[in-house]
Structure 1
Amino acid sequence: MNYRFDSMSPMALVLVGQNELWDKLNLQRYAAVRQRIDINCILPHLDRSETGKYMQTHLAYANGRQDIFTDAAVDDIYKESTGIPRRINRICEKSLMYAFQQNRRLIDDSMIRFVIDHEMLKGGE
């Protein structure tokens, strides 16, 4: 960060990562890096309502139907994902693929449970 840092060549570095990145930065050998961090933003998990809105926004962006997931399906997606957008995306992606394979136009909670039980990696994704 100190390389030619003047008004002619300003430089900024943005570190983006999951919570595990902070665990690494807390090690003594990264103290110098940690001391140079000016802003630390942590995104909270989404609640149930935000999860539903998040899914609707993605469906709208893709020009998809807004009513493709039942309320019970959204409940199960929220419970399994704990409101983590990356996990919501993964469950929804696999559920959409499964619905297509089954020639179904509505994704209900039983389909979500099947996807969670049979398609999701357990322990870490």
Structure 2
Amino acid sequence: MASPPEVHAALLSAGPGPDSLVAAVGSWTSLAAEYANAAEHLDGLLITVETGPWQGVSAMCAMAAYAPYLDWLMQASADCSAMAHAHQEALAAYVDALAAMPTLAELSANHALHAMLTNSQYTGPAT
């Protein structure tokens, strides 16, 4: 973007910082684990129904009815994991950008040094 570095430094330094991304990563990770835990529990129950004493058409209907929900739980867990990963990548990019960007104080000192060096040249400003 064609803005002075002060604009970018101010934009990176303003706002809540990385805390909201850290919280989002934790929330998505926790939600993924909850969905995975629910899927694992339901899968165990369905295995018990399949191998247990409850046999017949009603057992098969119950298993068939819960199969889409089990699939949904597993997909929701995978989706939440993907969101956690995406937020983790965004967090890493933000932290890297913040570390690479000079602070407003460093930029101000650089401008002062540049002005001093430019004004001290005998032949005028460097071209």
Shared fold per TM-score greater than 0.5:
no
Could you say which structure has the greater relative contact order, defined with CA pairs below 8 angstroms and 6 or more residues apart? 2
Name the structure with the higher helix share: 2
Q: Which protein shows a greater Rg?
A: 2
TM-score normalised by the chain length of structure 1: 0.25
